[in-house]
Structure formats: structure tokens, C-alpha cells
Structure 1
Amino acid sequence: MSQSYPNDVLIVDVSPRDGLQNESETVPTAVKQALIEDLIAAGIKKLEATSFVSPKWVPQMGDNGELLTALAPTRQADVCYSVLVPNMRGFENAVAYRPDEIVIFGSASETFSQKNINCSIDESIERFAPVAAAAKAQGIKVRGVISCTVGCPYEGEIDPSQVAYVTKRLVDIGAECIGIADTIGVGTPIKVQRALQAALHHIDVGALSGHFHDTYGQALSNTLAALQLGVREFDTSVAGLGGCPYAKGATGNVATEDVVYMLHGMGISTGIDLDKLVSAGERISNYLERSNGSSVARALINQRLD
């Protein structure tokens, strides 16, 4: 049986935001800036730079403005700098720094929505409607990400109809693309495909992205399952940094290095230099004094040492 895959894939590295927001120690702005510049030097064309949430909730992102100011002199015109915003206030704070894209987020789980952002799914979408409208009025792209699309730490398995519902709501308020996230990493290929297919009722496959955590070691399999449906954009995190502060036990995002190695091995282009990417991940891992979460990076680093 022949299977057609996309010729090229866009990798969105979320480590500066989703990766570092889970660190117990706040990472200095200069280190975040170096990470972002290393990723761009490796060929990353889209990344989540920071978030404009209240520093009371996520103190690690309290330097959002300083970071974007520091990046401004070397900002690349062909790189999309994304920021996450939780509400209108966050958007108003972010817009001064001219992000290329804002990320808004809903959950496919009602309980997770309540525990994570203290409101229902419908209330969360209503809160984001003016944000999406304001962003579009200023020519800023809007991406909607849906968490817990296959499983939730409180509700267990999530019905794909929930994914379809939230996708439609986000598209209706102006999200131009939708990220399907397996926030706690419980998904397996068929479940992930069902979640993606549910979203496809309301958005084209070219505007869909995958965001898979590797808690149960399924992230690469789930990436392959998404590729089989024609998905061409994936959120990954260099060195496998990050988890979810509201999802107990959720380990890091899938490592960018592992996804890039798999894609290149399949003949799929990413525009990324894997050696430079490995160096970027190793540099931030060394700074954080933690082992590199990428199997590919560890293998290639061992080869370098030999």
C-alpha cells in the first residue's frame, strides 16, 4: 500500500514559551533570546516567543516585553514570531511589540477549561472573540489551539465531537488555523486521527497543526498518523522541553530534533539544519542543568564525542 506524505513540513518550535514556562527557576531574558536566535540560525521559521499572561499565574513569562524588545534589532522578516494571549488585556500588552501571530486557546474538555482558565469552554471562546477581531484588524494572524483533544486528566477520553465543536467556535470568531493538542500525551495514532478528522469538518487540512506530548512515548507515532492525513505543520520543542503546569504528570512536548530526524529520513523537507538544532537544544539543556530530552540529540552528541 502506497502512502502519500507532504513534501515539506513547517516546524513551530514552542520551547521559548511552552518549554520554559514550566521551569521552576525563571530563565533570564538573555538566555531566552539566545535560545530563539539559535533556533532561527538552525532554520526554524516559526516559533512561540513568549506569552502575555499575568505574571501572577506564569511568572516565567513576566519578561515578555523585554524579550521582544531585545529580539527587535535582529528580527527576521521571514520568521513568524508568535505570542500567546489569554484575553484582551494580554493582547493590548502584546500589540506594542508587533507579534506576527497571536495564539488563543480553548479546551476540548469542560473540566480542564474550568481548572486551567476558570471558565467554561463557551465563556473562553467569548473572551477570545474581541481578541481575534482586534488582531485581525491590525493584520496580525490568529491561531487557535485546542488542548486535551484526545484525553483529559479529569475526564479521561475526549469524544471527537468535542473537538469538532471547539474548532467550529474558534473558526467562527476568526482563527485562521487550528492546533490540535494532545496536552497530556495519552493519544495513540487512531485516536489522534479521529480528533484531526473531527476538526477537518470545519477547517482545511492546510490550516491544521499537531501538538503532541510524549508522556507515553507516542508523539512520533501520532505525528506520523497526522502526516498520513496531510497535516503539514507541527508544534515541537527543542530538547523536549516543557509540559503543562495544569496537567499533572504530562512530560515534555515532542523533541524538535526527533521530529526533524524522522521527517528528513522520510524525504520530507523542513529547511532545518539538524546539527545546528542539536547544538541549540544542548546549549539550553546545559544552561538548565538537565539531560537533553531528545533521543536523536543524545545519539548525535555521543557521535560527536566519539
Structure 2
Amino acid sequence: MSQTKFKLVECPRDAMQGLHDFVPTELKSAYLNLLLQVGFDTLDFGSFVSPKAIPQMADTAEVLSKLNLTYTSTKLLAIVANLRGVDEAVKHEQIHYLGFPFSISETFQQRNTNSSIAQSINTVEEMLTLCHKNNKKAVVYLSMGFGNPYGDEWSYEIVEKWADVLVEKGVEILSLADTVGVSTPEKISDILPKLISKFNHTEIGIHLHSTPAERFEKIEAAYKSGVKRIDAALKGFGGCPMAADDLTGNIATEDVIGFLNSKGENLNLNMDKWNEAMALSGKIFG
């Protein structure tokens, strides 16, 4: 086993974004400040997107101003969906990563970012330029990476084709995203090793959604595939409000932590702060 440190990405933004009731800014900030003390590699904390599309994230800039980054090595990631969001996000020195959801499904790209795949490639190019100028890194999510419930054509070759295009453009971190929970352990075991092997100079991550019953099998399949970057959310909350009416939740962080600990991975997490965050999550998610 290589000694590359495992990167665990905690995703409170993904967990919260579909909640119907607005979570007060102070409560969001308190929750994120606890998560920042746990010791995750990255915190997907907010997004600079239209407040009409995702009202829950309208206060991302204000939340950011309330985060205490003095005693944490955790890097902040913000999601953007267009160039207006990129322009806004790069202004903030505290943000390390900008994440862009690039769907290999034309239907879902329109639904999620109100733009075509061709327009999204242009957005990625502009984002890479602005990230470079502002000392940020881009993370591009290959959304619909495991299948397409919208009727557009899907195959591993299509996934690989778009990964090729994005890597050619200069993307250094690709996260294969299962936005609607259609991945299976078999698909993960088939697709991930091929991508990791082909793009061996690119950091390949995974962002899975799952029903609770399938979580462990999917985590195990991803781990055995050699992935070193996994997105998860405390208690498996959340999902993409643009994807479906019945949200398929995120992979639960505690399941990933338990699994990786059982494999002897040293995650170096402050579990006291984790337990505090778990307790506070009840006030947010009910």
C-alpha cells in the first residue's frame, strides 16, 4: 500500500443545501468551526451560486467571515456553477479550492448549472486561469460518473473522454461524482482503477451518494480501487436538490472513518470535536 495520506473531504455544504428551512448564519458558522477542528483534509463549506437556485447558501460570504482558521490545517472548498461564482470565490483569500460540477450528461448539466457541456468547458478554462492568478486550485467533479438516469447516452468511454478533455485543459483534481446514487460496488471497482491508472498524474477522488444499506460496500470498493480522496458528510445528510425529489444521501463520514480505521489508515482526527459536531448537527438537521 502506498503511503500517500488519505484525504477525507467533509461536505457540510452538500449536507445543508437541500434543507427547506434556512439555517441561521451563526449556527452554520458554529457547526463549521467545530468541523474545522476535527482535522479533515478539506471542508466543502459553501457555494457561490444563485441564491434563487440554492437559497440555503446565500450567506456563504458571511459564514466565511465567521470561520476561525487560526488552529486548523483543513483547507476550504467552495462550489461555483458559473463565472460569476468564480469571480466571487477567488476574492476570498481563505478559500483554497474551487469546485465545479461538470456533468457528462447534457440534460443534467443544463438542470444543475443552466449551461451546456460546451459552455461548461469554457467555464472550466476560465476558472483554471483565475485559480492560477489567485493562488487557488480547481476541483472538477465528473458528475453522472456512474450512470445517467436522464436518458442521455452513458458509458465508461464517455467518462474517460471527458476526463481526457479536462486533464488536457489543466485540471489536476478530478472527483468522480455519483450525484443520484446509481453507482454500484461493481461499477466503482470497474471504473475507478482504469481512471487512476490512465491519469496517474491527476488526483482522482470520489463523491458518492448512497442509501444506508449500500454504503459500506461502496466505500470498500472505492478503497480497494486505490482512491485516496473521498467526500463524505456527517450522518450521510444531504444530496443534490437539482437531481431528484427524493434525495439519496451522501456517504456518512462516520462510516468512512470506521472503515479507514479498520484498514490501519492514520487519519489523525480529533474525535472529541467530531462528537461535538455530531451533537450540534441535531440543531441543523433535526
TM-score scaled by length of structure 2:
0.91
Which residue is equivalent to 1:22?
Answer: 18
User: Counterpart amino acid of 2:275?
Assistant: V
**Letter paired with 1:264:** N
Give the alignment partner of residue 86 of structure 1, picking from 81, 84, 108.
81
1:45-73 per-residue CA deviation (whole Å, 9 max, x = no partner) reads 311111000111111111111111111x5
Q: Find the residue that maps to 2:213 and give its secondary structure.
A: coil
**Superposed counterparts of 1:201-280, under 5 Å:** 203-204=199-200, 207-215=203-211, 217-248=213-244, 249-280=246-277
In the alignment, structure 1 residue 183 sits paired with structure 2 residue 179? yes
Alpha-carbon deviation of 1:168? 1.8
Measure the CA separation in 1 of the matches of 2:217 and 2:258: 13
Q: Distance in 2 between matches of 1:40 and 1:288?
A: 19
Q: Percent sequence identity over matched residues?
A: 32
Taking the aligned partners of 2:211 and 2:115, their CA distance within structure 1 comes to 26
Structure 2 segments unaligned to the other structure (5+ residues): none
Greater shift in the superposed pair: 198-207 or 252-261: 198-207
Q: 1:265 to 1:205 in 2, by over 3 A?
A: farther
- Deviation string 1:109-168 (CA, Å, 9 cap, x unpaired) is 222222222333222112221111111122111111111111233128831112112212
Q: CA RMSD in A?
A: 2.2
Query: Matched residue of 1:55: which SS?
Result: coil
Deviates more, 1:161-170 or 1:195-204: 195-204
Corresponding pairs, count: 284
Partner of 2:96: 100
What is aligned with 1:192? 188
User: Take 1:216 and 1:284, find their aligned partners in 2: how far apart are those partners?
Assistant: 18
Is contact 1:239-1:285 (8 Å) kept?
no
1:22 partner SS: coil
Question: Following the alignment from structure 2 to structure 1, what is the Cα–Cα distance between the partners of residues 214 and 153?
Answer: 16
The CA distance in 2 between the partners of 1:204 and 1:75, in whole Å, is 34
Residue 205 (structure 1) shift: 7.1
Distance verdict in 2 for CA 1:5–1:22, change over 3 Å: farther
Q: What CA distance in whole angstroms lies between the structure 2 residues aligned with 1:260 and 1:35?
A: 19
Partner of 1:33: 29
The Cα shift of 1:12 comes to 0.3
Judge which range, 162-171 or 139-148, deviates more.
162-171
Deviation at 1:179, TM superposition (A): 0.3
| Candidates 116, 122, 131, aligned match of 2:118 | 122
* Aligned counterpart in structure 2 of residue 164 of structure 1, from 138, 160, 166: 160
C-alpha distance in structure 2 between counterparts of 1:123 and 1:164, whole Å:
19
SS of residue in 1 equivalent to 2:190 = helix
Assess, with a 3 A threshold, how the Cα gap between structure 1 residues 190 and 117 changes in structure 2: closer, same or farther.
same
Separation in 1, partners of 2:197, 2:101? 19
In structure 2, which of residues 50, 59, 74 is the aligned counterpart of residue 63 of structure 1? 59
Aligned to 2:242, the other structure's residue is in SS state coil
Partner of 1:131: 127
The runs of at least 4 aligned residues of structure 1 exceeding 6 Å deviation read none
- TM-score by structure 1 length? 0.85
Instruction: Measure the CA separation in 2 of the matches of 1:132 and 1:206.
Output: 15
- Give the aligned residue type for 2:281: I
The secondary structure found in structure 1 opposite 2:180 is: coil
Distance in structure 2 (CA, Å) of the matches to 1:135 and 1:169: 18
Structure 1 residues 269 and 211, CA, compared in 2 at 3 Å: closer, same or farther?
same
Shift of 1:94: 1.4
Distance 2:56 2:151 in 1: 28
Deviation, 1:204, is 2.1
Return the letter of the residue paired with 1:93. E
